[in-house]
């Protein structure tokens, strides 16, 4: 299980998914406050057995890959 404040570019979440799979984790769930649709689709496409739960959806990333216009970089909170 992974907890993250946001799923923007999917980089951190993908790294955690690979790490959990390397340790033979069978059931992987990602919980986020806000996600970007493109990142959700990418994870679903590459890891169809991973469940993703989020409370909000945003489709805007700025040039740094931060969720725009208001979130910025909340930092990685994956556990």
Percent above pLDDT 90 for the chain: 11
* Residue 59, pLDDT score: 80
d(CA 22, CA 76): 20
- Domain of residue 53, residue span: 2-58
Question: Domain for residue 11, yes or no?
Answer: yes
Measured on CA atoms in the order 56, 17, 9, 66, is the torsion positive or negative?
Answer: positive
| Overall domain count for the chain | 1
Question: Domain for residue 52, yes or no?
Answer: yes
d(CA 13, CA 33): 13
Kindly indicate the confidence band of residue 48, based on its pLDDT and cuts at 50, 70 and 90: very high
Question: Domain for residue 78, yes or no?
Answer: no
Q: Are 15 and 76 in contact (CB under 8 A)?
A: no
Beta pairing, strands 51-58 & 29-36: parallel
User: Is 12 a residue whose pLDDT tops 90?
Assistant: no
Question: Domain for residue 69, yes or no?
Answer: no
Question: Domain for residue 33, yes or no?
Answer: yes
């Amino acid at each position: 299980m992974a907890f993250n404040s946001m799923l923007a570019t999917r980089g951190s979440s993908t790294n955690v998914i690979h790490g959990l799979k390397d340790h033979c984790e069978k059931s992987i769930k990602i919980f986020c406050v806000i996600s970007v649709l493109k990142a959700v689709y990418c994870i679903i496409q590459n890891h169809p057995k991973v469940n993703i739960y989020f409370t909000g959806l945003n489709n805007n990333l700025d040039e740094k890959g931060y969720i725009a216009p208001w979130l910025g970089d909340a930092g990685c909170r994956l556990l």
